[in-house]
Structure 1
Amino acid sequence: MLPVAALPRQLPPPTTARAFSCACGRPVFFRNSQCLACHRALGYAATRGTLLALEPLRGGRWREAGAPVRGSARWRRCANLDTAAACNWLLEPDEQLAGHTLCRCCRLTRTVPDLAQPNAPLWWCRIEQAKRRLVSSLIGLRLPVQAKTDGFADGLAFDLLLAPPEGPGVITGHADGVITLDAAEADDARREQRRSDLHEPYRTLLGHLRHECGHYYWQRLVQPTPWLEPCRALFGDDREDYAAALQRHYEQGAPADWGQRFVSAYASAHPWEDWAETWAHYLHLVDTLDTARSFGLDGERVELSYERFGAELLADTGDAQALDFLQLINSWMELTGVLNELSRAMGVADFYPFVLSAPAVRKLHLVHRVVRSAGG
Structure 2
Amino acid sequence: MKLFHCSNCDNPLYFENTRCLACNSEVGFHTRHLAIITLRRTDDNEIFLSDDFPEEKLRFCSNQQTVGCNWLVNAGNGDGFCVSCKLNKTIPNLSEPDNITRWQHLEAAKKRLIYSLMKLKLPFRGDTRSQDRGLQFEFLSSDLAGRPVMTGHLDGLITINIEEADEIQRHLTRIRMKESYRTVLGHFRHETGHYYWNRLVRDFGILSSFRALFGNEEANYTDAIEKYYREGPSPGWKESFISEYACAHPWEDWAETFAHYLHVTDSLETAWSFGLQLTAEKSDQAGETTGDPYEEKDFRKMIAVWLPLSIAMNNMNRSMGHNDFYSFYLSARSLEKLSFVHQLCRQWKSQFS
TM-score by length of 1: 0.85
| SS in structure 1 at match of 2:255 | helix
**Residues 36-51 of structure 1: matches in 2 within 5 Å?**
36-51=21-36
Distance 2:42 2:8 in 1: 17
Which secondary structure state, in structure 2, belongs to the residue aligned with residue 375 of structure 1?
helix
Q: Point out the more displaced range, 163-172 or 97-106.
A: 163-172
Give 2:194's aligned residue.
215
* Runs of 4 or more consecutive aligned structure 1 residues displaced over 6 Å after TM superposition: none
In structure 2, the CA distance between the partners of 1:147 and 1:108, relative to structure 1 (3 Å rule), is: farther
1:220 CA drift (Å): 1.5
Aligned-pair CA distance for 1:76: 1.6
**Residues 90 and 103 in structure 1, CA contact (< 8 A), matched pair in contact too:** yes
Please tell me the residue identity of whatever aligns with 1:56.
R
Q: Which residue of 2 aligns with 1:366?
A: 340
Aligned to 1:31: 16
CA drift at 1:324: 1.9
- C-alpha distance after superposition, 1:141-178 (max 9, x if no partner): 111121599x9743110001111089522100000000
Among candidates 318, 324, 330, match of residue 350 of structure 1: 324
Matched AA of 2:307: M
In the TM superposition, residue 21 of structure 1 has moved relative to its aligned partner by 3.1
Pair 1:18 & 2:15 matched:
no
Residue number in structure 2 paired with 1:305: 283
The structural deviation recorded for 1:180 is 0.2
Q: Name the CA shift for 1:211/1:302 in 2 (closer, same or farther; >3 Å).
A: farther
Question: How far has the Cα of 1:79 moved from its partner?
Answer: 1.0
Q: Residue 315 of structure 1 corresponds to which residue in structure 2?
A: none
Rate the CA distance shift 1:100–1:361 in 2: closer, same or farther, 3 A. Answer: same
Over aligned residues, Cα RMSD in angstroms? 2.3
Match of 2:47 in 1: 61
Cα distance in 2 between the residues matched to 1:231 and 1:346: 41
Select the residue among 70, 78, 87 that pairs with 1:88.
Answer: 70
The partner residue of 1:279 within 228, 252, 258 is: 258
CA displacement 1:226-276 (0-9 Å, x = unmatched): 322211111111110000000000000001111000000100100000000
User: Whole-Å Cα distance in 2 between the matches of residues 29 and 160 of structure 1?
Assistant: 26
Amino acid of the structure 2 residue aligned with 1:76: R
Rounded Cα–Cα distance in structure 1 between residues aligned with 2:58 and 2:297: 41
Q: 2:139 aligns to what SS in structure 1? A: strand
> Please, which of 221, 224, 242 is the counterpart of residue 203 of structure 2?
224
Paired amino acid for 1:99: G
Q: Which residue of 2 aligns with 1:3?
A: none
| Residue of 314, 317, 327 corresponding to 2:301 | 327
- TM superposition shift of 1:307: 5.0
Residues of 2 paired with 1:302 and 1:44: CA distance? 36
Q: Which residue identity does 1:182 align to in structure 2?
A: N
TM-score for both structures, normalised by structure 2: 0.91
Q: Higher relative contact order by CA 8 Å / sep ≥ 6: 1 or 2?
A: 1
Aligned to 2:141: 162
1:366, CA displacement in angstroms? 0.4
| In structure 1, C-alpha distance between the alignment counterparts of 2:61 and 2:284, rounded to whole Å | 45
Displacement after TM superposition at 1:17 (Å): 2.9
In structure 2, distance between residues paired with 1:80 and 1:278? 32
Gaps of 5+ in 2: 288-294
Number of corresponding residues: 341
Q: Alpha-carbon deviations, 1:80-106, whole Å to 9, x = none?
A: 1111x2110011x4xx54513010011
* Amino acid aligned to 2:125: Q
Q: Determine the structure 1 residue equivalent to 2:292.
A: none
Cα 1:200–1:341 change in 2 (3 A) is: same
CA shift in 2, pair 1:365/1:132, >3 Å: same
In structure 1, list runs of 5 or more residues that go unmatched: 1-15, 310-320
Change (3 A) 1:141 1:51: same
Identity in percent: 40
